[in-house]
Amino acid sequence: MPAPTSRPTRRAIRRRRAEGELPSRLRLPHLRHPAQVVVAAFAVAVSVGTLLLWLPVASEPEGSPTLLQALFTATSAVCVTGLAVVDTPTYWTGFGEAVILGLIQVGGFGIMTLASVLGLVLARRLGLRARLNAAAETKSIDVGDIRRVVVGVATISLRFEAAVALVLTLRFALGYDQDLPEALWNGVFHAVSAFNNAGFALYTDSLIPFATDPWICLPINAAVIAGGLGFPVLMQLRRDLRVPRKWVMNTRLVLLGTGVLLVVGTVFLTAAEWSNPATLGPLSVAGKLLAGFTTAVMTRTAGFNVVDVGAMEPASWLATDVLMFIGGGPAGTAGGIKVTTFFVLVFIVLTEIRGEGAVNVLGKRLPRSVQRQAITVVLLSVMAVGLPVLALLATTPFTLDRVLFEVVSAFATVGLSTGITADLPTFGQLLLVALMFIGRLGPITLASALALRQRTQAYELPKERPVIG
């Protein structure tokens, strides 16, 4: 006779449900997909940030800021964009700046990633639901390895920010005669803003006063590039830096694409602005090269500027639009359609031109599902940019080049502006708020949804092809 099995106690059932081993009794259908949980978490963060910035203590002028000003700034900070409708250093108090800094850190680090880290610290474990949510945000394929991923993200972020903050603090204190508390605050704020590709600065004219100072520009550039590579790349470089043969396709593609775009962007923008008296013209040759390189780096969704963007040549605006739209690496603090998406399309086009059957990327064959995802992301992104451009052209007096620049900057979460953000009507600013939110979370949600919605069909329809071109 088999031994009777003991029934689990209610406490054991509750514990297993909390850890994700058993399904919760109460289900919320609209938050069932992990990507939807990520969107909801970011929306809550924006709401909390808006309420904090709406407090009278957050702003310098008498009375509290308008709800639109608080909402725009909170969204820009959480979505690590950097666009602003008020002057950050003069409008916000120390409390307001601290709130902005906290929102930048939370938004760049990732809401669900931060929640996972806190769960590990407090409970030393992660339930299945928490692992799925964090995986959706960090683009992790192996859900079982998400603990190592979130710890790695936390470690990399804090180390980069601390190193850059130390260099900037010393430079502000020794080179600009700032007292230690002021230098430390400036160093920490700009380091966090740079690594998270946010672009918020504590100077009215951003980094223009430091355009020729390599001790300010180069550490910030390094933080921007590192954050823009994406956490998967940074984690593999930390582990296999001296063994390139172990690098996966994502790492190789991001490093190759980042290098190519930085070189092309630096050469083009420096040449286009070389003689412009309102930008690079008055600088020395070394200053022009440093400022040109920094400008190219910031188009990767960072948002700092070392020249007057509103005075740049139209050709520079268009080139910046393209660079902003491409953005940085996936699963990092950068925005845009991502370097990997752009270069996958490049390889698809090259394959079609050569008449080859399979798309090969860096010695590996690319799955057809990835090709479809890349094309879908690009087309939806073009639509997300095109429709707001038409809407703003119809409702504002600004020209196409300025409107396109502003819309791409918002969607790609860059933060560069030709100077029309604060002059947009309420409808236009709300449109940019929506674009920043979509730009920060749209690619995450779309990629996760596409990856999890694949299904096997039991049949195939007959083939027929239309005329293309």
| pLDDT tens figures, 440-469 | 877 556 555 555 555 566 777 787 778 777
Q: What is the pTM of this model?
A: 0.84
Domain that holds residue 290: 30-448
pLDDT at 240: 85
Residue 379 lies in a domain: yes
Question: Quick one: which of 355, 234, 206, 217 has its CA closest to 286?
Answer: 217
Q: Among residues of the chain, what percentage have pLDDT more than 90?
A: 53
| pLDDT tens figures, 287-325 | 999 999 999 999 988 889 999 999 999 999 999 999 999
pLDDT at 146: 59
Return the minimum-mean-pLDDT range out of 148-157, 210-219, 429-438. Answer: 148-157
Chain centroid to Cα 435, Å, comes to 13
Residue 464 lies in a domain: no
Residue 35 lies in a domain: yes
* Whole-number Cα distances in Å, 326 to 93, 256, 275: 35, 14, 27
Residue 1 lies in a domain: no
- Residue 256 · residue 340 · CB < 8 Å: no
Residue 281 lies in a domain: yes
Q: What is the mean pLDDT of the chain?
A: 83
Chain centroid to Cα 429, Å, comes to 20
263 pLDDT above the threshold of 60: yes
Calpha distance 388→404 (Å, rounded)? 9
Residue 8 lies in a domain: no
pLDDT at 300: 82
Question: Quick one: which of 132, 41, 117 has its CA closest to 78?
Answer: 41
pLDDT at 184: 96
pLDDT at 10: 58
Calpha distance 111→119 (Å, rounded)? 12
Count of the separate structural domains present in the chain: 1
pLDDT at 148: 66
pLDDT at 417: 93
- Residue 218 · residue 286 · CB < 8 Å: no
Calpha distance 322→310 (Å, rounded)? 17
Residue 4 lies in a domain: no
Residue 2 lies in a domain: no
59 strand-pairing partners:
92
- Residue 341 · residue 374 · CB < 8 Å: yes
